[in-house]
Amino acid sequence: MTKVIKVPESHLEVISSPQQESQPSALSQLKYAEPTELYLRDGEVVIHRRPESPLWHCRFKLQDGSWHRQTTKQASIEHAVRTACDLYDETRFRQRLGLAQKSPTFAEIAHATLYSMRQDLDVGIGKSVYGSYITCIEKYFLPYFQDKRLEEITYTDVHEFEVWRNRQMNRVPRVSTLNNFASAWTKLQITAINKGWISDRVAIPKLTARGLKGKTRPAFTREEIDHLLEFMKDWINHGRLEIEQLTRPLLRDYVEMLLYTGMRHGTEALNICWNNIEWHTQGDKKYLRIWVSGKTGGRWLIAKHKAVDVLKRLHSRQEVVYEIPFDRLFETRCPEKIFVFPNGHQPMRIDGAFKRLMRDSGLGLSHDGQMRTLYSLRHTYATLELLENKTDIHTLSKQMGNSAAMIDRHYSKLTATMAADRLA
């Protein structure tokens, strides 16, 4: 009979043979061969790692058959696979929308927009308000949104930007200023869409246009206008720098033309060419008629007779039309602009020269402390037409390119003054 002896497992001792002892050390010397290249999505996506880099790179085929290469920025193979597939899906999505493969930064879009606006200004097709847009982009948008992607900007980003901007300006902007910011913001989006960088279906938050109510531009009184016209006759001869000697006579003519027509400073006035001017005969009387095009479309306006002297001065300084007798100038339909230097170059902005004129003449501030600008000349024209010439609101609205309702809203306070002789 066989006797079974039970031995506790704790008392057992396993004695390995010499051959068994050598096996673990041999296995430990074997290295795991990690792949250096993986094919994903039926071979459409390939990830690989270069010998000198710990990061995985990917390449995938585009619709045109070319290969797009990009780093995954991942050292882990699992994360690299996920990132490569995400990049591939995003690229295919952008291709279906007809967008660029790589979404540019805000700075790249901003620089492209600035270049486009400056190019338009150089060739004379840009709007004068582009100067304000350029300031908004360079001074505020670019420093704040520099490295962001336009399509990734959120409502919170826009709100925080507006708080930061108001701190930079040390005030709450007026509605007109906010409208310039909003238009510049839209200009950036249009550039990105036209270049195929973003889709027009991408929802980008808008800037707010709620601000302080704008004030009516301060006008000049009749006495101040008489002083200004007399002051400019001598002031134009005292420019120290060459650019001042060119700008001051041009500014004088520009100021007088705004006063004698009521046209808008900027796009309307600066784009006038000699072929936009003609004589209009009514009975035995002859009037100067000018075609302007700007904010509210095109229109004919009648200039005061004194504007003829302004045009004669401009004609006498311009090399292109100097040889043409002034009496025949309008008939030649010359396409050259009128507000230019003798060599035909038009300064991009003359606001700075006007500020110096206001400073030197002592007319920079109105009686209530408001700063006068070139737009004050248009307001002055309207005020004097209503008060001195008793021009009716409907006629004035046609001349100035505004609705009668807008003229009435801005100048209704003058109604009682206009009827003072009847009311008294």
Give the pLDDT of residue 142: 95
In a domain, 14, yes or no: no
Residue 233 and residue 306 in one domain: yes
Task: Please check whether residues 227 and 368 belong to one and the same domain.
Answer: yes
SS3 state of residue 206: coil
The total number of structural domains that make up the chain: 3
Report, in this order, helix, strand and coil percent for the chain, each rounded to 5: 50, 10, 40
Give a yes or no: residue 17 inside a domain: no
- What's 383's domain CATH number? 1.10.443.10
Residue whose token pair is 């021009």: 391
Q: Are residues 167 and 291 in the same domain?
A: no
Final residue belonging to a domain, choices 96, 115, 140: 96
Note whether 277 and 323 are same-domain residues.
yes
Residues (pLDDT < 70) of the chain are 1-34, 97-102, 211-216, 412-424
Same domain assignment for residues 341 and 407: yes
C-beta separation of 299 from 309 below 8 A: no
User: Residue 213: beta bridge partners?
Assistant: none
At 382, is the secondary structure helix, strand, or coil? helix
DSSP 249: H
This model's pTM is above 0.85:
no
Rg of the chain (C-alpha set): 36
pLDDT for position 5:
46
pLDDT in tens, 2-26: 444 444 444 445 444 455 444 555 5
Please indicate, yes or no, whether residues 370 and 247 belong to a single structural domain of this protein: yes
* Same domain? 153 vs 232: no
Looking at residue 101, what is its pLDDT?
Answer: 64
Q: State whether 125 and 79 are in the same domain.
A: no
Supply the pLDDT for residue 124.
73
Indicate if 116 and 228 belong to the same structural domain: no
Q: What confidence score (pLDDT) does residue 201 get?
A: 77
Tell me whether residue 5 is in a domain. no
Tell me how far the alpha carbon of residue 95 is from its chain's centroid.
Answer: 28
CA 236, CA 399: separation in Å to the nearest integer?
Answer: 30
Residues 293 and 400 in one domain: yes
Helix axes 375-387, 393-400, angle to 10 degrees: 160
pLDDT in tens, 234-259: 999 999 999 999 999 999 999 999 99
Tokens of 405: 């309702």
Confirm whether 373 is domain-assigned. Answer: yes
Residue 395 lies in a domain: yes
User: Is residue 221 within 8 Å of residue 387, measured between CB atoms?
Assistant: no
Do the beta carbons of residue 342 and residue 317 sit within 8 Å? yes
Residue 273 falls inside a structural domain: yes
Is residue 87 located within the same domain as residue 119? no
Decide the pairing of beta strands 45-49 and 56-61: antiparallel
Q: What is the pLDDT of residue 104?
A: 86
Beta strands 56-61 and 67-74 are antiparallel
For residue 177, the enclosing domain spans 106-194
